[in-house]
Amino acid sequence: MPDVALRERFWERYPLDALNDAEWEALCDGCGRCCLVKIEDEESGDLALLDVACKLLDIDSCRCSDYANRFAEVAECTKLTRENLYEFDWLPSTCAYRRLGEGRRLAGWHPLVAGSDRRMHRKGISVRAIAVSERDVDEDDLESHIIAILPC
């Protein structure tokens, strides 16, 4: 894909469905929250959110270590698109896609607003301080890593 320039303050000037692919990708704040493992309760449909991150998440940077191949590597990887955004009601209220989709503004700590991701990490928005890699957790111990129940 050729490099496409980001339009100035595009997140304030254009609706989500008018963003080009580069702008859509740039909205991701890199918090890593969508990369935390979730377990669905088959009876209630609720999701248990764990402090366990996908094996591809680089916890220090909170970015995918193999973004280009993530769907081949992780079958349950979330593919967030303009068309399916509203299906992911578990996205945190801090998520830029969710915020803009709900008619809210980007938070002041968002890297597009703040100029870097340092503020986001300092404020504890990212999973950097809480996540452990699923590579380091025994599958039998997953329930001990539940940090929230997300009703669906």
The confidence score (pLDDT) of residue 72 equals 95
Assess whether pLDDT exceeds 90 at residue 26. yes
CB atoms < 10 A from the CB of 62, how many?
23
| Of 68, 45, 71, 64, residue with least CA distance to 127 | 64
Contacts of 148 (CB under 8 A, 6+ apart): 48, 49
The confidence score (pLDDT) of residue 5 equals 85
| Of 55, 30, 41, 57, residue with least CA distance to 148 | 41
Mean confidence (pLDDT) of the chain:
93
DSSP the chain: ----PPPTTHHHHS-GGG--HHHHHHT-----GGGEEEEE-TTT--EEEEEEEPTTEETTTTEETTGGGHHHH-TT-----TTTGGG-TTS-TT-HHHHHHTTPPPPTTSHHHHSSSHHHHHTT-SSTTT-EEGGGS-GGGGGGGEEEEE--
pTM: 0.89
As a whole number, mean pLDDT of residues 37-46 equals: 89
pLDDT in tens, 118-139: 999 999 999 999 999 999 999 9
Assess whether pLDDT exceeds 50 at residue 116. yes
The confidence band for 3, taking pLDDT boundaries of 50, 70 and 90, is: low
The confidence band for 1, taking pLDDT boundaries of 50, 70 and 90, is: very low
